Structure 1
Amino acid sequence: MENTTVSLKEQYQSFKTENPKVRIRDAARQLGVSEADLVATGDHNISLKPEFEDILKEISSLGHVMALTRNDHAVHERKGVYTKATFNGHIGLVVNPDIDLRLFMNAWHFGFAVQEGDRQSLQFFDKDGEAVHKIYLTEQSDMQAYEVLIEKYRAPIQNGTLQTTPIDKSIVESPDNDVEAAGFRQAWLDLKDTHNFFGLLRDFGVARRQAMRLAPEGHAIQITIPSLKRILEGVSERDLEIMVFIGSRGCIQIHTGKVKKLLQTGPWFNVLDPAFNMHLREDGIESVWLVRKPTEDGIVTSLEAFDMDGNVIVQFFGKRKPRIPEREDWRQVIADYAVIQ
C-alpha cells in the first residue's frame, strides 16, 4: 500500500509541475483518483478524526473564514463567521447572515487540515473522496485557535492512504406514465412551504428535473440559458438582494444579499464581490427553469439550473423571510429578462 501512495504522490507532483494552474478536483479526474486521495498525499496535510459535528461546533472559534461548497459546475464562496452548528439527527444547520448552511452529515467521511502554500483550510469529503465542504482561513482568522482545533482532532494514524468507496450518484427517473401526474400537480398546487417540495418529490417518486416537465401549468417554464445571466445582470444593475443556493451531497450553502461585480472568464460566469464569490460554468448547464411554488405567503419564484444528468447546479430566489410575501422587484427582473425556451 505504501508503494501505491508514494507512486500517486509522485504522479501528482509531476502533474502539478506540468499543469500548475489546474485545480486539484480536475487533477484528480485526470489522474483517475479522488480529490481526497490527492489531499492525503500532502506532506503537510493532517488527517482528522471523523468527529465532524464536534469540529463544526467549534469553527466559530476561528473567527472570520471563507466557506466553500461546490459541485461539478458551480462554486459558492462566502466569507464570515460561523455561528455554532446545531444538529437534529444527521441534519445540521449553521444560520447567520454570512455563513448559512444546510448540512447532511451522512455524506461526511474524511476530513483534513490542509496546507496549500500559505493557505490553511479544513476540508471534508464524501466516502468516494469528493469534497463536500471546505473552510479556508482568512487574514482575520485566529491562527492559534486553528492550531488548537487541529491538535484536538488530529487522527492517531497519519499514513497518507484512504479507503474510498464509489457512490452511484446517477438519477433514475421513473417513466412519466408511471407517475400519478394529476395527484402530483394537485399536491404542488397545495404546497404551503417551499421546504416541503422535496417531500412532495419523494412521495410521488418524481426526480427533480422530471418535476419540471410534470408541473402544473405555468409553475415550471423552461427559459434560455443566456437569459439566466441577463437576469443576474439585471439584479446587479437594480441593486436587488437575492438568495443563491449551491450544494454538494453533504452541504447546501446559501448567500443572501446583493450580487454586484459580474465577470465572464471563458466558460465561467462569476460573481466577484468582497464577501461572496460564485463561479458558474455555463457549458455545464443543460436547462434553466423558472419555477413557481405556492406558500402561505403567496407564490415563491426560483430560477433552477440543471446539468445533463438531472442534477441541480444552482438555485436563485429573491431575498425573503417566512410570513413576508416575495419581493415584486425580483419578479419584475425575471419578467423583464427571462426568455422562454
Structure 2
Amino acid sequence: MTSPADLRQRHAELAAGPRPPRAREAAKLLATTEAALLASGALGDVTPLRPEWGALVGGFRALGRVMALTRNEHAVHERYGRFEDVSTGPGHILVLGPDIDLRMFPGRWAHAFALAGQRRSIQIFGADGEAVFKLYAGEETDRPAWARLVQEFAAMPDSAPPLAPVPAEPPAADGLVDAKALREDWLALKDTHDFFPLLRRHKASRRQAFRLAGEDLAMPLEPGAASALLEAASVSGTPIMCFVGNRGNIQIHTGPVAKLLRTGPWFNVLDPDFNLHLNEAGIAEAWRVVKPTEDGAVTSIELLDETGEVIALFFGARKPGQPELQAWREIVGDVAHRHALSPVVA
C-alpha cells in the first residue's frame, strides 16, 4: 500500500519534470486522493485542523481579503474578497456578503488542513478525499490573524484521508415520474429555492425533470450556449449570478463579467475579483430553464455533465422581491434562439 513517504518521493519526481502538475492532477497521476497527497506533506508543511466547521468558517472573517475557491470536475469558481456574515443552521453554514457568498454543507466534510509556504491555504475535503472548498491567502490577507487561526484549530486528526481514490457513486437510475403532476407543481412554484424540494417530492433528477417539463419551462441548448451567454453579458455589462458547486459547497458570484479568454477547451472569466474556468468539453447538456416566482418568471441557463450533475448555473443578478432584469431575459432569449437543439420558429 502507498505510504505518505512514498507519496512524497513520487510527487517530488513529478514536480521535477518539465511541467509540474497541479495537486489535483498529481493525485490522479499518483493514483491517490488530493487530501492524502496534501496530508503526506508532499505539497509543503501541512497542519491538520479540528473539524469544528462552524467555528472555523466563522474565523475566516478575521482574515481580511482572501480568495475562496470551489470547484467540480468541469468548473472552477474563484472569488476574491472578505468573509462578512457567517451563520450556521441545521446541516448548513451560510456565508453572505457582497464578496463571498457560500452555501456550505458540513455534513459532507471530513478533513481540513492548513498548507504553509508562499501560497498559504486552508483546504477542506470530503470523506472521499475530494476537495470541497479552499481558501487562499493573498497580499491583503492579515497574515498574523491567519497564523492565529491555524494555531487555534491545529490538532491531531481523528482519521487519515483515504489513500486510494473512492469510486464515484453511479448516477441513480431515473424512476417513474408523473410528468403531468411534475409540470403542474413546477408551474405553481413561488420561489426558485422551492425547485430542489420539488425534485425531491417527485423523486426526479434535475435532468429528468428538464426532459419531462416541456420546452416552455426547460429548453435543451447546445453546449456553446454557456460561452455565448458570458460573451453577451460581458459586451452589455449585464450583471449575472454564477453558481458553481459540489456536494459539500456552492459558491456564488454576483456582478458583471468583463475579461474573457478561451484556452483550449477552457472558457475563462479573468476579472480582478472573480475568475471562472469552465471546461466546455465536459458540458453534456445545457438548458434554458424558466421557474415561476412571486416576482415573475426567473430564467437561467444550467449546465450538466454526462452523469447529470450540475456543472454551473447562470442567472441574472437579482434579490428576492425584485423582478428579473430585462437585459438578462433578452440575453437568454437570444442565446436560446441561436443555440437551441430543437427548431425554434422565428
TM-score (norm 1): 0.95
Q: Which residue does 2:83 correspond to in 1?
A: 82
CA displacement 1:44-75 (0-9 Å, x = unmatched)? 11111111211101101001000000000000
* Amino acid of the structure 2 residue aligned with 1:97: P
Q: Give distance in 2, aligned partners of 1:157 and 1:92.
A: 22
Check whether the contact 1:60–1:81 (CA below 8 A) recurs between aligned residues: yes
> Is 1:302 equivalent to 2:329 in the alignment?
no
Q: Which residue does 2:325 correspond to in 1?
A: 327
Q: Give distance in 2, aligned partners of 1:162 and 1:312.
A: 25
Q: Give distance in 1, aligned partners of 2:102 and 2:51.
A: 19
Residue ranges of structure 1 left out of the alignment (5+ in a row): none
Check whether the contact 1:71–1:248 (CA below 8 A) recurs between aligned residues: yes
Residues 280-299 of structure 1 correspond to what in structure 2 (within 5 A)? 280-299=278-297
TM-score (norm 2): 0.93
Check whether the contact 2:124–2:134 (CA below 8 A) recurs between aligned residues: yes
Q: Give distance in 2, aligned partners of 1:308 and 1:203.
A: 24
Residues 1-341 of structure 1 correspond to what in structure 2 (within 5 A)? 4-18=3-17, 20-42=19-41, 43-115=44-116, 117-156=117-156, 161-163=160-162, 166=166, 168-175=168-175, 178-338=176-336, 339-341=339-341
Secondary structure, counterpart of 1:260 in structure 2? coil
Q: Give distance in 1, aligned partners of 2:282 and 2:162.
A: 30
CA displacement 1:230-258 (0-9 Å, x = unmatched)? 12101000011000000011110000000
Pair 1:157–1:128, CA change in 2 (3 A): closer
Structure 1 position 20, deviation (Å): 3.6
Residue ranges of structure 2 left out of the alignment (5+ in a row): 342-346
CA displacement 1:267-298 (0-9 Å, x = unmatched)? 10000000000000010110100000000011
Q: Give distance in 2, aligned partners of 1:301 and 1:133.
A: 28
Q: Give distance in 1, aligned partners of 2:222 and 2:197.
A: 28
CA displacement 1:97-142 (0-9 Å, x = unmatched)? 1100001011111000013x51001000000000000110110000
Q: Give distance in 1, aligned partners of 2:6 and 2:188.
A: 58
Fraction of identical pairs, as percent: 44
Q: Give distance in 2, aligned partners of 1:79 and 1:114.
A: 19
Secondary structure, counterpart of 1:336 in structure 2? helix
Structure 1 position 31, deviation (Å): 1.4
Pair 1:17–1:33, CA change in 2 (3 A): same
Check whether the contact 2:72–2:246 (CA below 8 A) recurs between aligned residues: yes
Pair 1:157–1:197, CA change in 2 (3 A): closer
Q: Give distance in 1, aligned partners of 2:20 and 2:301.
A: 32
* Amino acid of the structure 2 residue aligned with 1:105: P
Q: Give distance in 2, aligned partners of 1:256 and 1:204.
A: 31
Structure 1 position 168, deviation (Å): 4.6
* Amino acid of the structure 2 residue aligned with 1:61: A
Count, aligned residues: 336
Check whether the contact 1:173–1:210 (CA below 8 A) recurs between aligned residues: no
CA displacement 1:25-55 (0-9 Å, x = unmatched)? 1111121111001001124111111112111
Pair 1:157–1:336, CA change in 2 (3 A): closer
Q: Give distance in 2, aligned partners of 1:62 and 1:170.
A: 39
